[in-house]
Amino acid sequence: MALMLDRETFSCSICLDLLKDPVTVPCGHSYCMNCIKTHWDKEEEKKIYSCPQCRQTFPVRPVLVKNTMLAVLVEELKKTGLRAAPADHCYPSKKLQENVCSHHDEVMKMFCRTDQQSICYLCSVDEHKGHDTRELEVSRQNIQQRIQDREKDVKLLQQEVEDINGSADKAVEGSEKIFTEMIRLMEKRRSDVKQQVRSQQQTKVSRVRELQEKLEQEITELKRRDAELEKLSHTQDHNQFLHDYPSLSPLCESTHSSSINIRPLRYFEDVTAAVSEVRDKLEDVLREKWTNISQRVTEVDVLLSQPENMTRADFLQYSCDITLDPNTANTELLLSDGNRKLTNTGQQQSYSSHPDRFTKWCQVLSPESLTGRCYWELERGGRVRVAVAYKNISRAGIGNESGFGYNEKSWALDCDNNSYNFYNNNVLTPVSGPQSSRVGVYLDHRAGILSFYSISETMTLLHRVQTTFTQPLHAGLWTDSGCTQTPDSVFPLVQVRFLS
């Protein structure tokens, strides 16, 4: 069993035989030199070279060098293993032989839909040239990739359900707490008004009672004096009258009725009116704010709203005003039109020194931090790389750590005059679609969606990324210019303008 595992370890995944002149490609997988040459010869027209196993692509055809150590190990395996192949390996070997092309002695890993038969790579460029062919392994890998994508989507939706439920519970709990506080505040105000009215009632009633007592005392005194005067008026003796009259007690100071201000039926009615005014204003505020609250509730988005179902009018509702940050611009890039237009001049601009400036790559970032849903469009002339990147992307040097698309901190669509390519983490993905001078970019930061569109009379999706963004993003531009060339080099003029 161990011997069989060794055979599989040192077998070429293209011809399924022991490696002949083994070579190792940059991704680490090994093949027969002729097998991988034939595979890449077929991809020569596309100028894209990929590993048949992991499908990693290489922008430049790698130079193949024989792996001498692996060649020695294969030779040792041939000496010890081929004679000792177990009997039960005969049947698998027979099945493998049935899958080998009888004309070219190559494994048949393609299917000709025109002739409805399995073929090898050489058949596809020979007698089946121009036929409708499909690479079986690629088709299977595409299916497996779609399965992985759908499983990831299912997990995202499950997470979305959990997030929705958690957010809803939190919103209800928070709203209940706020409304309870509002009710408590209203109860306190109600109690305060009641207490103030009762206190004022007691004060006013006490003053009225005090005045009332004074008046009653004055009435009693007046009545007593009236009785004395009446008795004195019946005295017949004038001398006695003159004697008794001066001895009468003097009248106390009278309380004038004009000092009593009577407010007929209007005492605390103004308080009721004031409370009523508060109620009316509160109703107005609640009515106005309730519309806003309801709108916020209905605007809750879920991942079910996929961008491929959206029209350009739908995208435009998420339009963002994008500008360019002069502090990040390479010194050969000229910014104009309110920092909305970029031109590669090939000449040094009078920028001050700044730690955020890209020193070698002809790049620039926007100052705006992009989160949530954002959409923007730009007009280009010449080769441009339209990108988004984290703010902490490196700014110095010409290495991959600072170039848009060559690291895990940036995503970029390379727009040439006759082709598109997408870059992320130094992996190139060919993109097909109609050429246009206008490019649209849609970002749903929370959902991890980044899409690029060709804009003309119609809106065509060029490439869509589904990932997880861990930081706010910034829009970026790279231009094909003289930033890395000599002063005498000639380069095409590139202009880019963000549309408002």
Give the closest residue to 200 by CA, choosing from 268, 263, 261, 262. 268
Residue 88 has pLDDT above 50, yes or no: no
The per-residue pLDDT for 87 is 41
Least confident of 111-125, 223-237, 299-313: 299-313
**Residues 6+ away with beta carbon under 8 Å from 463:** 413, 420, 422, 429, 431, 433, 451, 452
**Residues 6+ away with beta carbon under 8 Å from 301:** 373
Confidence of residue 255 (pLDDT cuts 50, 70, 90): low
CA distances from 20 to 12, 106, 137, 268 (A): 8, 14, 22, 107
The per-residue pLDDT for 204 is 86
Residue 243 has pLDDT above 80, yes or no: no
Share the mean pLDDT of the chain: 82
Confidence of residue 485 (pLDDT cuts 50, 70, 90): very low
**Residues 6+ away with beta carbon under 8 Å from 493:** 343, 344, 381, 382
User: What's the predicted TM-score (pTM) here?
Assistant: 0.43
Residue 265 has pLDDT above 80, yes or no: no
pLDDT in tens, 16-26: 888 889 999 98
pLDDT in tens, 309-336: 788 888 998 999 999 999 999 999 999 9
Residue 257 has pLDDT above 60, yes or no: no
The per-residue pLDDT for 90 is 46
pLDDT in tens, 5-49: 456 678 888 888 888 899 999 888 899 999 999 888 888 877 788
In this prediction, residues 240-269 reach a mean pLDDT of 65
Q: Rounded to an integer, what is the distance from CA 466 to the centroid of its chain?
A: 12
Residue 350 has pLDDT above 50, yes or no: yes
Q: Best-predicted range by mean pLDDT among 11-25, 56-70, 111-125, 377-391?
A: 377-391
The per-residue pLDDT for 254 is 66
Least confident of 93-107, 263-277, 351-365: 93-107
Residue 304 has pLDDT above 50, yes or no: no
- Work out the number of other CB atoms within 10 angstroms of the CB of residue 499: 14
The per-residue pLDDT for 138 is 56
pLDDT in tens, 353-390: 999 999 999 999 999 999 889 999 999 888 899 999 99
The per-residue pLDDT for 116 is 84
CA separation for the pair 461, 413 (Å, rounded): 12
The per-residue pLDDT for 388 is 97
